[in-house]
């Protein structure tokens, strides 16, 4: 509590924000056992890797490796994760994407067959997914990005080498703040009314 979804917690409260995050993160971690990919969960703070291992295993059935995110801002931490996989097609997703499923990940990996990078745009101007065929070519893309703004995706794309081919995945909601939370709640209401 107090470490995740802080902008959202300022509006809906710490307990509700933590409950939301736990539910979405657990659903995301269930994707780890799909045999079509290998999952690495990057945690912050770094000490969480050791303290959370038993809890996380219960959620995922030991289908992933937990590693520390390391120091620095979001961009530096994302670049460090990419560099762990230097020449392997790699996709990074957050654990706050309610619409994320195996199909979205599979489609992103398929897009990487014909592109050097793939982005999943978020409704707020950021992105819920970034994938690169050769991570070492894109690790510098996360420098000087205006994180948590409508410019995040545009900034990252502008930092990519010009000769990289970029594909775009579907737009999904990443729930970071009140506006994202309200859009997600409205989407849930519409879904329920369609099944009623």
Looking only at the bridges linking them, the beta strands covering 64-68 and 39-43 are parallel
Task: Report the range of poorest mean pLDDT among 12-21, 31-40, 178-187.
Answer: 178-187
Which tokens belong to 26?
């657990």
Residue 22 lies in a domain: yes
Residue 1 lies in a domain: no
How many domains, the chain? 1
Residue 121 lies in a domain: yes
Indicate which CATH number applies to the domain containing 141: 3.90.550.10
What's the domain range around 92? 6-195
Per residue in 150-163, pLDDT (tens digit) is 999 999 999 999 99
Q: What is the pTM of this model?
A: 0.87
CA angle (98, 47, 137) in 5-degree steps: 65
Distance CA 194, CA 143 (A): 43
Residue 58 lies in a domain: yes
Per residue in 58-89, pLDDT (tens digit) is 454 568 889 999 999 999 999 999 999 988 99
Higher pLDDT, residue 12 or 1: 12
What's the rounded mean pLDDT across residues 109-120?
Answer: 96
Q: Residue 187 contacts by C-beta under 8 Å, 6 or more apart in sequence?
A: 98, 173
């Amino acid at each position: 509590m107090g470490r995740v979804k802080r902008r959202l917690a300022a509006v809906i409260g710490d307990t509700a924000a933590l409950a939301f995050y736990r539910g979405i993160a657990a659903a995301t971690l269930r994707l780890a056992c799909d045999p079509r990919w290998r999952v690495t969960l990057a945690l912050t703070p770094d000490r969480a890797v050791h303290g959370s291992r038993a809890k996380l295993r219960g959620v995922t059935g030991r289908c992933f490796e937990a590693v520390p995110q390391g120091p620095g801002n979001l961009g530096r931490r994302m670049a460090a994760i990419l560099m762990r996989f230097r020449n392997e097609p790699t996709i990074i997703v957050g654990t706050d994407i309610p619409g994320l499923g195996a199909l979205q990940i599979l489609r992103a990996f398929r897009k990487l067959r014909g592109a050097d990078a793939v982005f999943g745009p978020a409704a707020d101007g950021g992105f819920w997914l970034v994938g690169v065929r050769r991570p070492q070519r894109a690790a510098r893309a996360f420098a000087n990005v205006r994180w948590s703004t409508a410019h995040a995706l545009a900034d990252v794309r502008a930092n990519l080498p010009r000769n990289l081919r970029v594909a775009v995945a579907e737009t999904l909601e990443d729930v970071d703040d009140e506006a994202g939370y309200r859009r997600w709640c409205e989407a849930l209401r519409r879904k329920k009314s369609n099944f009623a």
